[in-house]
Amino acid sequence: TPTQGISNCRHDTARDLGMPDDQVRVVCKFMGGGFGNKNQNQDADLIAAILARRAGAPVALELSRHEDWLGVHGRWPTVQYYRVGVKNDGVVTAIDLRGYSGMGGYRKNSGGISGIELYGCPNVRREVSPVYTNRTTSGNFRAPTYPQGFFGIQSMMDDVADKMGIDPVEFVLKNAQHPGGTIDYTNYTLDECIREAARQFDWTRRWRSPAGSDVDPVKRGAGMSFMLFRSAVGRSSAIIRVDSREQYTLFVGVTDIGGGAKTTMGMIAAEALGVPLAQVEVVSGDTDRCPFSVGESGARTTVMTGTAVVEAARDLVGQLAERGMPTGPNVLIASATPDPSTGGKVRNCFGAHFVEVEVDTALGHVRITKYVAVHESGRIINHQTAKDQIRGAVIQGIGQALHEDLLYDPRNGQPLTPGFYGARHMTHLDAPDIETTFLETDDGYGPFGGKYVGESGIVLAPAAVGNAIFNAIGRRMTDLPITRDKIIEALT
């Protein structure tokens, strides 16, 4: 079944069927994508299981694209109202958020709105109300609370900087959350990310002051956004076996959902064992063969499962040093189920995105001409897949900012645009060149200092694109997606 968490899917299915966990087998080795929609057990899994038990025969359930679009959840829409207090020197002193999240007919998740925590502000009030609506159900979608929240608060702060006559980069460096007080970070690199991205982007040349001052009908503008981001947690297990042929087999309950988890786990094991990757076979995605995994969600696979792999490998290395390589049919086995702790410190990844856009004021068309993404995600284990994770996430975020929407008939609440064509997903032909840089660090935690990558790229794109459009046309666009008709209406 297409699931992001084979262990959780097995447990949930067994619970719903009134069976022991060991009587349910879940297999998912590779899947094209999950993005939160396939976490744990979903209705489709349970429907197939119920039908199979009643029929006494195997059952396959395949949803059409239309059914998939309407029957599973998407990101919750939000309405956000902000009030911000700021001193004459540009220091933010108060932030007040009143927000509403549309959860559809059934509440599956929190409906939270992130973003205020980005700022080191002494006075904060956040009141967020989940609202039931007669629309499709909302749930976790890649960095669930972040893109919509970051778009709201960073659009607001961009407005504040504009009204104060302060460069947005200077405003962020002055007001972003910094170490000290009640927060103790394992490391902190936000300022470095912002300055490096600004340097690569050539911010002082591309940013327009005042906003909308480009006199050409095709106006250019620049915008930026930044992040402090923390992944989800949860324990995972790993088992490593070595035989007399010096062949190592790693068993992990991960599902590869496009981020290269299987390869990355093998790389971590090979590094910890001190052997070539070719000597490590990875067995994954099968509850009958693999130990418990918390699941591929919350950008936690490398950190949580990777830490288990490192500890199991070190245990096995110790056994080999004591006993030597096994002979004949004998094997040595090591396992680990760690509970990673940072000793009360906050472990974040950091990043900054800078965007330049062209806006055709006659047609309302937006074209991204430059996109720079700088991230600090600890030690990068697999450079190719890490860069692809950021690029793919940015493409999703740009789509959220400019294109993707699920429209409803106001007369009866029926969705009008379910499916790839109606939602206008970006393709590679639509995407700009995304210049991606990692500032590598090792804060002493995680597998060789590795942090989170998978979700962090999407959280910055909507805010950065929205701020760039404001800088180009001098009109603040507050409703996503920022489509041509909305731009033309704002300019008339």
pLDDT tens, 406-428? 888 888 888 888 777 666 778 88
Specify the pTM. 0.94
Decide: residue 247, CB within 10 A, 0-12 exposed, 13-18 middle, 19+ buried.
Answer: middle
pLDDT grade, residue 98 (50/70/90)?
very high
Contact assessment for residue 264 and residue 250, using Cβ atoms and an 8 Å cutoff: no
Asked, for residue 110, whether it belongs to a domain, the answer is no
According to DSSP, the β-strands at 123-131 and 92-102 are parallel
Residue finishing a domain among 336, 354, 371: 336
Q: What angle do CA 62, 65, 68 make, to 5 degrees?
A: 70
For the chain, the average pLDDT equals: 92
pLDDT of residue 110: 85
Asked, for residue 82, whether it belongs to a domain, the answer is no
pLDDT grade, residue 450 (50/70/90)?
very high
Does residue 417 share a domain with residue 445?
yes
Asked, for residue 150, whether it belongs to a domain, the answer is no
Q: How far apart are CA 118 and CA 150, in angstroms?
A: 9
Q: What angle do CA 26, 237, 4 make, to 5 degrees?
A: 40
* Residue recorded with tokens 């076979």: 281
Does residue 421 share a domain with residue 326?
no
Does residue 307 share a domain with residue 180?
no
* Residue recorded with tokens 């040595």: 332
Longest alpha-carbon distance in the chain: 81
List Cβ neighbours of 288 (8 Å cut-off, separation of 6 or more): 25
* Residue recorded with tokens 């540009």: 90
Does residue 332 share a domain with residue 285?
yes
What tens digit of pLDDT does each residue of 203-254 get?
999 999 999 999 999 999 999 999 998 876 778 999 999 999 999 999 999 8
Strand-pairing partners, residue 372, are 354, 435
Does residue 305 share a domain with residue 269?
yes
pLDDT grade, residue 343 (50/70/90)?
confident
In order, the DSSP letters of 30-74 are B-S--TTTT-S--HHHHHHHHHHHHHTS-------HHHHHHHS-B
What one-letter code names the amino acid at 151?
F
Count of C-beta atoms within a 10 Å radius of residue 318 = 11
127 vs 301, residue with greater confidence: 127
Count of C-beta atoms within a 10 Å radius of residue 120 = 16
What tens digit of pLDDT does each residue of 58-84 get?
999 988 888 877 777 788 999 999 999
Distances (CA, A) of 465 to 222, 262, 316: 8, 33, 49
Q: What is the mean pLDDT of residues 46-60?
A: 93
pLDDT grade, residue 466 (50/70/90)?
very high
What does the buried/exposed string (b/e) look like for 140-159 if buried means 16 or more CB atoms within 10 Å of the residue's CB? bbbbbbbbbbbbbbbbbbbb
Nearest to 372 by CA among 354, 359, 392, 385: 354
Does residue 209 share a domain with residue 353?
yes
Nearest to 438 by CA among 430, 449, 429: 449
Does residue 384 share a domain with residue 331?
no
Q: What is the mean pLDDT of residues 166-194?
A: 93
H or E element at residue 389: helix 383-402
**Domain boundaries, position 34:** 6-71
Asked, for residue 208, whether it belongs to a domain, the answer is yes
Does residue 290 share a domain with residue 265?
yes
What tens digit of pLDDT does each residue of 354-366 get?
999 999 999 999 9
Q: What is the mean pLDDT of residues 306-334?
A: 96
Q: What angle do CA 247, 264, 286 make, to 5 degrees?
A: 70
Asked, for residue 132, whether it belongs to a domain, the answer is no
pLDDT grade, residue 301 (50/70/90)?
confident
pLDDT of residue 441: 95
pLDDT of residue 39: 67
pLDDT of residue 141: 84
pLDDT of residue 322: 96
Residue finishing a domain among 71, 89, 109: 71
Check whether 40 has a pLDDT greater than 60.
no
41 vs 289, residue with greater confidence: 289
What one-letter code names the amino acid at 6?
I
Check whether 458 has a pLDDT greater than 90.
yes
Please give the DSSP secondary-structure letter assigned to residue 483.
-
Asked, for residue 85, whether it belongs to a domain, the answer is no
Q: What total of structural domains would you count in the chain?
A: 3
* Residue recorded with tokens 């038990």: 53
Residue 227's region, left for phi above 0, alpha for psi from -120 to 50, else beta, is: beta
**Which CATH number characterizes residue 467's domain?**
3.30.365.10
Check whether 51 has a pLDDT greater than 90.
yes
Does residue 195 share a domain with residue 292?
no
Tell me the backbone φ, ψ of residue 218, rounded to 5 degrees.
Answer: -100, 100
Reading the block at residue 370, the tokens are: 């430059």
* Residue recorded with tokens 């009640």: 182
Query: Would the CA dihedral through 295, 298, 301, 305 be positive or negative?
Result: negative
Does residue 296 share a domain with residue 427?
no
Does residue 360 share a domain with residue 284?
no
Does residue 466 share a domain with residue 357?
yes
Reading the block at residue 257, the tokens are: 């959902």
Residue finishing a domain among 294, 315, 336: 336
Nearest to 70 by CA among 134, 4, 17, 25: 134
Asked, for residue 177, whether it belongs to a domain, the answer is yes
Check whether 297 has a pLDDT greater than 80.
no
Decide: residue 276, CB within 10 A, 0-12 exposed, 13-18 middle, 19+ buried.
Answer: exposed
Asked, for residue 127, whether it belongs to a domain, the answer is no
